[in-house]
Chains A and B, each alone.
Chain A
Amino acid sequence: MSGVLNTFRNFQQQDYPYFRRIRNNIVVALLAVSLIPLIIIGGGMYYYASSVLKQNTLTSLRTEVLSHKKAIDQFLAERTMDLKLVSNNLSLSQMIQPGVIESVYNSLNQELSSFIDLGVIDGQGGHLAYAGPYQLISKNYKNALWFEQAMKHDVYISDVFPGFRNEPHFIIAVKKTTGNGPWILRATVNAAYFNDLVSELSGQKKQDSYLVNKSGIFQTSSRMAGKLMEQSDIKQLEHFKGIRMEEKDGIVRMTLWLEKVPWLYVVEINRRDIFSKLYHIYMLGGLVFLLGAFMIVWTVILTTNRLVSMLEYNKSNIHVLNQQLRRASYLASSMELSYGFFREIKDTLANIDVAAAWIRELTRENRLDDIKKNIEQVKSEALRGQKAIDKFFNFIKPGDPIITEVNINGILNDLLEILKEEFSFKNINVKLDFQHDFPSVRSDASKLRHLFQNLVLNAMSAIEQDGEIIFITRSVEDGVTVIITDNGKGISEENLKNIFDPLFTTKPQGTGLGLSICLNILKRLGGSISVESELGKGASFIVKLPFFFG
C-alpha cells in the first residue's frame, strides 16, 4: 500500500516539478561552474602578479636606497678630498698668512657651499687661522674629542656635537705633519645641505631617512622619529654588510652602514606608499572581478529565469494538450460507444413512425380504443428514447475529478447497458461473473468510466464480429480486480511489450492513446493494469484498484 502511495506521490511530483527549485539549482550550478574557475584563475594570476610586482618594487627601492647611500658617502669622500688637496698644496705658513684661509674657504664653497667654516689648528689645539661666521679664532680644541681623534688619524669625520658655537654640527679634519709638528685643517660641514642630501630620497616623497651614529644618536634630523642629537629607538647597532629590511606596524625600515663614517643610514617608508601603485592595481583588478562576477550572476539569473519560465509555460501547455488529447480520445471512443445508442434511438424512432402510421389509419376508421393503445405505444417509445439519451449522456459527460464511493459493478453494468445494442449487432456474447459482496471503491468515477469504456471498446474491436467477452470482478486483499477477457485476435508477444506506450497501435484507424490513457488513469488512482494474451486466442486485461485512495 505504501509503495502505491509513494508511486502516486512521485508521479504527482514528476508531473509538475517545482520550477523555482529547479531554477535555483540551475543558478547555483551555473554560478559555481563559472565563478569557481574565475576565482581560481583570477586568484592565481592575482597572487603571481602581486608577488612579482612586490618583488620588483622592493628591488627598485633597495637600489634606490643603496645609490643614495653611495651619494652620501661620496659627498663625505669629496669633502674630505677637498681638504686633503688644500693641505697638500698649501704649507702651514702659507695657510696662516692673512687672507689665505678666506681665499681657500671661498674657493671651496665656490661650486657648492658645503662648508660653514674652515680653520687651521696647531698641534696644541689653538686656532692659527679661521674663516667663517663664528668668532672661534681664540678657541682652543685641545680637550675636544674630535681633536683627540684627528690627532690620532690622518682624516677624521666627527659625530654631530654642539661645540663652542653651541649648535649641532659635525666636522671633517685632515691632519698634516710638517717640521714644526702636526697641524689640522678642519672644516664644518654645511648641516642644512647635508640634511637635505640625506633626507631626500629621490622618487619617495613620503619617506623618512636619517643617520644615526653607533650609539643611536640622530646625526641628521628625522621627520617622524626624532630630532638631531636625540636618542633614537634603534638598537642592536652592530656593524653589518648590505641592507637590512624589517617591517613593523605598516612601516618598512631599511638600514645600512655608511662606508666613510660609522653612521647608520636609516630609511623608513610607509608600506602603503611603497605599494601604492600596486594597491591601485589591486583595486582595479578587484573592480574588474566584481564587475565580471556581477555580469555573470546577472546573465545567469536572467537567462535561467527566462528558460525556466519558458519551461514552465511549455510544461503547462503540455498538460493542457495532454488533457485535450485525452478528451479527444475520450470523445472518439464515445463516438464508438454511441453506435449502439444511435441504433437504439433509430429503432425507437422507427417504432414511433410505425405507430404514427397506424394511428393515421385507425383515425380514418375511427377506432378510438386502438388509437389510444397506439398513442400509449408512442409515449412508451418516446420514454425509452429519453431514457437511452439520459443514460448515454450521463455516462459520457466528463465529471469533476472527485474521489467518491464508486460501485465498480454498477459502472460496468451502465457501460454494458449502453453497448447492449452494439453487442447484439456484432453478435458478441457477454458473460458476467461479478462478485457482489465487496465494498465500494474510493476512486474517480468519471475516470473509471473512461478506463472501462476504452477496455471494452478495445475488446470489441479485437473481436470484430461473433465472439465473447467475459467480465469478472473479484475482491482481493486490499482492493478490487476487474478482468475483461475477449476471444478476439489476441496480441503478439512483441506487441505486448509496447501495448501501453502512447501512440502505439496495430489498428489502421486507431489513435494509439486508449491503453496508454488507461495506464495513466490507473497510475493516478493508485491502481495497476496488466495484460495476458496469446495470439489468435484472445486477451485478458486485468485491472487492480485499491479500496482506499492514496
Chain B
Amino acid sequence: MIKKENLKQAIDNISKRDPEIGYSLNEMFRGRRIDTPSPPGEIEPGGDFYFFFDKQKIPVRKFIYFNYGTAPVEQQLLIKHGELTKKQELLNRQGPLNYIQAAIEIRDAGLRLMVVYEIDCLIAQLKKDNIESYEHLISFLEKIKKNNQNLKLPEEVTDPAVLYRGLVGIDTQALFVQFPFCMDSLMQAGDINLEYFNVRFLLNCLVQGTEKKLFACVVKQKIVGFIFVKFRKEMFYKGMELKYIATLSGVSTQPVPKGIGTFLVAGIWMLWKCKITDVKEFFLDSEIGAKRFYESIGFASRNFYQYTFKNPKGHLVKSIIIMANNCKNLRPDIIKTITRIIKKQIKSLRRQAKDKKQELSRKVAIDCVKECLRPGAHPEFSKTAITMLNKYKKKIPESKNLIQKFTNSKK
C-alpha cells in the first residue's frame, strides 16, 4: 500500500532532480491535494494500489511498485503535474478552446514530461557511470527526448521494424514489432500503464541490452500489448522463457480487441521457428493467474512452477497460420511444421463435440481451416487442408461445405 511517507519520498526524489516540479507537488501534498486513500491500505479491486491527485484516483501497479519502489508513484505524479501545467497554460491562452483537442494536449504534456524525466534520470545515471560504450546510448536517448522524427511507431507493413502481421479481435490488423524506442511509444507505454512494462523498465532494457527481446503488438499505431522474453543458456541447452506479457485487455476502459495475448505468443512462436532456431524449448515460470490461457494455447505444466510449450493449440494455431500467410519466403521446414499442425487440427475435427467445451474447440479448429482456405493463404497450407478434408470427408461433416467454398473462391 502507498503511505503518505511514500508519496513524500516520491515527491522529494522529484525535487532533487527538478525543484520546480518538486515545489508544486510539495505544495499540493501539503494541502492534501495529493493524498493517500483513507483508510490507509485500501487497494483497487484489481489488487493495485492508488493515491489521490486532486481527488482523482491514480492507480499504481503493484508489481512495479514492489520492484521499483516509488518510481511508479513518481511517474504518475509527473504525469499529473505535466497535465496540470498544460491545463493552466491552456486556460491562460486567449481565444476559444477545442475541448477534445485540449484534453489530448493535456494528457500528452503529462506523459511527455514523465518520459523526459525518466530519460533525464537515465542519462544522468549513465553519465555518472562514465562508461564509454554508453555514449552511443546517451545520444540515442537524447534523440528520443528531442522527438526525432526518424524514431516513430511503424505505420506500414513494409516498415522493417514490423516482424509479423496478423489479426486480433474479429478482423483488426495488428503488427508484431520489436518495441520501437521513440517518444510516442514511450508515452503510449506510460499512458496504458501496463503491469511490468513501465517506462523505467523499458528504458532499462536499453541499458541492459535486452531491448531486442522486447516486442509489442501495435494496432492502428497504438500499442495494445507487450511481451518480453529471456534466454536461459546452459552447456548444451538454450531455452526461451516468456518472462512478461501484458495486454490492454481488462485494463483499458476503451473497447479492446480480443486475442492480443495469443497474437503476441504467436509472434514469439514464429520468431522461435524462423529466427532463433537454436532455442530448444519455450517455457514460462509459474503464472497461476493465467493458467487457463496458457493451457488453452498449448503450454503444459512441468514440475510445480513451470509451463513448457508443447504444440500450438486453439486460437494460437489460427494466429500462427494468419502470420505465416502474411509472410513472404517462409523456409520449407517451417511450412512443413505448420502443415503438420494443420493436419493435426483437421484430424481433431473427426471427433464430434460432446459438450460445450469440445464444441468451442471444434469451432476454433474450423476457423483455422478457414484461414488455410482463404484466398491469399499459403498454397501449401491450402493444399494440405484440402487433402485432409477430402481424406476425412465422411467423418467431418463440415468438409464438403469448406471444400465447396474454397473451389468457388478459386473460380
Contact = CB atoms under 8 A, between A and B. Distances in A.
A13 B9 CA distance: 10
B88 A12 contact: no
A320 B4 contact: no
B8 interface: yes
B19 interface: yes
B29 interface: yes
A549 B19 contact: yes
Contact of A316 (B9, B15, B32, B85): B32
A549 B21 CA distance: 10
A403 B31 CA distance: 17
B12 A12 contact: yes
A5 interface: yes
A442 B24 CA distance: 13
Interface in A488-533: 524-525
A444 interface: yes
A322 to B, nearest CB: 8
A16 B8 contact: yes
Nearest to A317: B32
Given A400-B88, A402-B88, A15 B30 contact: yes
B19 A8 contact: yes
A12 B26 contact: yes
A401 B84 CA distance: 10
Contact of A5 (B3, B19, B24, B27): B19
Contacts of A12: 12, 15, 22, 26
Interface of A: 5, 8-9, 12-13, 15-16, 18-21, 312, 316, 319-320, 322-323, 399-404, 442, 444, 524-525, 549-550
B19 A550 contact: yes
A547 to B, nearest CB: 13
B196 to A, nearest CB: 27
Nearest to A13: B12
Contacts of B22: 12, 550
Contacts of A18: 5, 8-9
Contacts of A5: 19
Contacts of B28: 400-401
Contact of B85 (A312, A402, A549): A402
B201 interface: no
Contacts of B12: 12-13
B23 interface: yes
B138 to A, nearest CB: 24
Contact of B26 (A15, A21, A323, A399): A15
Contacts of A401: 23-24, 27-28
Contacts of B30: 15-16, 319, 322-323
A19 B5 CA distance: 7
A18 B6 CA distance: 9
B20 interface: yes
Nearest to B32: A320
Given A16-B29, A312-B4, A316-B32, A402 B24 contact: yes
B19 A323 contact: no
Q: Kindly list the 7 A-B residue pairs having the minimum CB-CB distance in the complex, ordered from nearest.
A: A550-B19, A401-B27, A403-B20, A323-B31, A319-B30, A401-B24, A20-B5
A444 B28 CA distance: 13
B169 to A, nearest CB: 41
B3 A549 contact: no
A444 B9 CA distance: 23
A524 B23 contact: yes
A19 B7 CA distance: 12
Contacts of A312: 4-5
Given A15-B30, A18-B9, A316-B4, A403 B23 contact: yes
Contacts of B19: 5, 8, 549-550
Contacts of A323: 30-32
Determine chain B's interface SS by DSSP, over half rule. helix
A313 to B, nearest CB: 9
Nearest to A12: B26
B23 A400 contact: no
Contacts of A13: 12
B29 A550 contact: no
A16 B19 CA distance: 16
- Of B8, B29, B85, most buried by chain A (CB within 10 Å of CB) is B8
7 contacts: A15-B26, A21-B5, A312-B5, A316-B32, A400-B88, A442-B20, A444-B24
Given A19-B4, A21-B5, A402-B85, 13 more contacts: A9-B15, A15-B30, A19-B5, A312-B4, A316-B32, A323-B30, A400-B24, A400-B84, A401-B23, A401-B27, A403-B20, A442-B20, A444-B24
A34 B19 CA distance: 42
A400 B90 CA distance: 13
A319 B23 contact: no
Contacts of B4: 19, 312, 316
- Of A9, A402, A444, most buried by chain B (CB within 10 Å of CB) is A402
Contacts of B9: 18
Contact of A319 (B3, B20, B32, B85): B32
A282 to B, nearest CB: 43
A311 to B, nearest CB: 11
A320 B5 contact: no
Nearest to A9: B15
Interface string B39-82: 00000000000000000000000000000000000000000000
Nearest to B36: A316
Nearest to B8: A16
Nearest to B18: A550
Nearest to A447: B27
B110 to A, nearest CB: 13
Contacts of B84: 400, 402
Contacts of A444: 23-24, 27
A20 B20 contact: no
Contacts of A403: 20-21, 23-24
Nearest to A326: B31
B84 to A, nearest CB: 6
A195 B20 CA distance: 96
A399 B88 contact: yes
A394 B32 CA distance: 24
Contacts of A316: 4, 32
A400 B27 CA distance: 9
Nearest to A309: B40
Contacts of A20: 3, 5
A75 to B, nearest CB: 72
Nearest to A324: B31
A19 B8 CA distance: 10
A322 B29 CA distance: 13
A172 B108 CA distance: 115
B177 to A, nearest CB: 37
Contacts of B15: 9, 12
B303 to A, nearest CB: 39
A28 to B, nearest CB: 17
Nearest to A22: B5
Given A15-B26, A403-B24, A444-B23, A320 B31 contact: yes
A297 B31 CA distance: 35
A144 B5 CA distance: 98
Nearest to A442: B20
Contacts of A404: 85, 88
A217 to B, nearest CB: 65
- Of A9, A13, A404, A550, most buried by chain B (CB within 10 Å of CB) is A550
B3 to A, nearest CB: 7
Contacts of A8: 19
Nearest to A313: B4
Contacts of A9: 15
Nearest to B7: A16
Nearest to A549: B20
A403 B14 CA distance: 14
Contacts of B29: 16
B150 to A, nearest CB: 32
Interface string B91-126: 000000000000000000000000000000000000
A539 to B, nearest CB: 29
B5 A550 contact: no
